[in-house]
Amino acid sequence: MFNRFDRDSPARFIVLFLALFAVFYYFNIFFFGITSPGNHFNDYLTNNLNYIQLLRNTLLRCSAQIINWFGYTAITNDFQLLVAGKGVINVVYSCLGLGIMSFFTAFVIAYPKKVKTKLLFLIPGLFCIQLLNVTRFVLLALFWDKKKGTILEDHHAIFNIAIYIIIAISIYFWVRYDDNKPIAGAEN
């Protein structure tokens, strides 16, 4: 008898994907809320387990280092990247790509493939998402002038569209990859 929720069923994938996405996405929002000054502020989590601020600082420092390698002078604080003679960009919660990472992670975990195959796609995929985010920060810091009306007026939407297209193409090829088929040249 056909089971609607066996390992390879589309129904199982959809339910698991939506549940995981909701958990990851809303946990990030919840955690951001309790580590930001306000009603439910948690000092211990803010000072000891604040992965959101760690991600922000990592992205800012990587962006500043790349800009410095290009011969500019860039400095950061906890929320901003300043390039001498160019201006400043503010990196707020929505700039961190946590929603995109939640989507990608939920999809990969929910999809019926071997754990090793999932990890070999998930870890580099998350790294690439943030590498593209750093590239965006560098380009914005060097070329975006909010005083002038430019095509980059809504760079969040442009970035999200580009990232989702890249993710869709990557997922397409990953889904088509048969992890049961031996790699060419690896036969014994």
Provide the residue ranges of all domains of the chain, joining segments of one domain with +: 10-176
Could you give the dihedral angle defined by the CA atoms of residues 126, 156, 21 and 55, in that order, rounded to the nearest 10 degrees?
Answer: 50
Partner residues linked to 76 by β-bridges: 81
What is the tens place of the pLDDT at every residue in 109-149?
999 999 999 999 999 999 999 999 999 999 989 887 666 65
Distances (CA, A) of 184 to 13, 91, 170: 30, 44, 21
Residue 91 near residue 6, CB atoms below 8 Å: no
Alpha helices by DSSP H, listed for the chain, are 10-34, 43-48, 51-69, 98-110, 115-143, 155-176
The one-letter amino acid at 103: F
| C-beta neighbour count of 91 within 10 angstroms | 21
pLDDT computed for residue 181 by the predictor: 65
